[in-house]
Amino acid sequence: MAKVAKQAKEGKTTKTTKRRKTVAIDVYKAWCKGCGICVAFCPKGVLAQDEEGHAYAKNLEACIACMQCELRCPDFAITVITEDRLNAGKGGSAHG
């Protein structure tokens, strides 16, 4: 009995909360037409547009990796690079 209690105390029953961490937001400028859709859909105000209209992450720390920007971009110009993706070998720019 004492052993079971010890195991529980050692964290065997600990619930792990998985939060994806965003490492970077990659915008392929050649494909970004500056429509601002990603900026509008980002729920955390992470994105902004530069003077040429291209999207960029102005507040990366706030990103919750919801992927809305990537999913909504009509030109596949924006990629959310998370730790998960990097670990899975799918990180980095999809555009070379």
List of residues contacting ligand SF4 (CB under 6 A): 22, 25, 27, 32-38, 41-44, 46-47, 55, 63-69, 73, 75, 77-78, 80
Q: How far apart are CB 13 and ligand SF4 at their closest, in Å?
A: 31
Strands 47-49 and 22-27: unpaired
Q: Taking the complex as a whole, how short is the minimal distance between the CB of residue 50 and ligand SF4, in angstroms?
A: 10
Q: Which CB, 8 or 70, lies closer to ligand SF4?
A: 70
CB 54 within 8 A of CB 34: yes
Contact 21, 82 (CB under 8 A): yes
Q: Which is nearer to ligand SF4, 10 or 61 (CB)?
A: 61
Distance, CA of 3 to CA of 56 (rounded, Å): 53
* Cα angle 75, 78, 81; round to 5: 150
Distance between CA 79 and CA 76 in Å, rounded? 8
| 8/40 with CB nearer ligand SF4 | 40
Please state the closest distance from residue 8 (CB atom) to ligand SF4, in A: 36
